[in-house]
Amino acid sequence: MTMTSKHRLPCPHCSQNLRIRKSQGLTPVYRELVVECRNEDCGFRGKARIEVCNTLTPSDSPNPTVDLPFTPRLLQQAIKQAQQAS
Ligand SMILES: [Zn+2]
């Protein structure tokens, strides 16, 4: 997993950027990262978790083991559209 320069993860102590040292996918939607502060004067290392929690746009090649709910707002829109269609 790569982070674009736009999406940075700040160190919780000194707010410099964290570098991802290791990334381990435990499930298709969940991974754990070992992060390290780029600030040598800080030296913080820690563990981070990334979880994909909701669907915004459904996949055209869905993984049958993955069930990610729509965000509540999108779900309401879908229900409203379904009601209007019937
Ligand atoms: Zn730091």
At residue 76 the predicted structure's pLDDT band, cuts being 50, 70 and 90, is confident
Task: Give residue 10 CA to ligand 1 midpoint distance, Å.
Answer: 8
Over 70: is that where the pLDDT of 2 sits? no
Which residues on adjacent β-strands are paired with residue 59?
none
Over 70: is that where the pLDDT of 1 sits? no
Rounded Cα distance, 70 and 58, in Å: 9
Over 80: is that where the pLDDT of 86 sits? no
pLDDT for position 17? 95
* Dihedral sign of CA atoms 62, 49, 43, 15 in order: positive
Domain edges within the chain = 1-53+67-86
> What's the pLDDT tens digit per position in 10-66?
999 999 999 999 999 999 999 999 999 999 999 999 999 999 999 999 999 999 999
* Contact (CB, 8 A) for 35 and 48: yes
Task: Give residue 12 CA to ligand 1 midpoint distance, Å.
Answer: 7
Over 60: is that where the pLDDT of 5 sits? no
Exposure class string for 21-46: b at 16+ Cβ within 10 A, else e: eeeeeeeeeebebebbbeeeeeeeee
Which of 75 and 30 is assigned the larger pLDDT? 30
* Contact (CB, 8 A) for 50 and 33: yes
Task: Give residue 17 CA to ligand 1 midpoint distance, Å.
Answer: 7
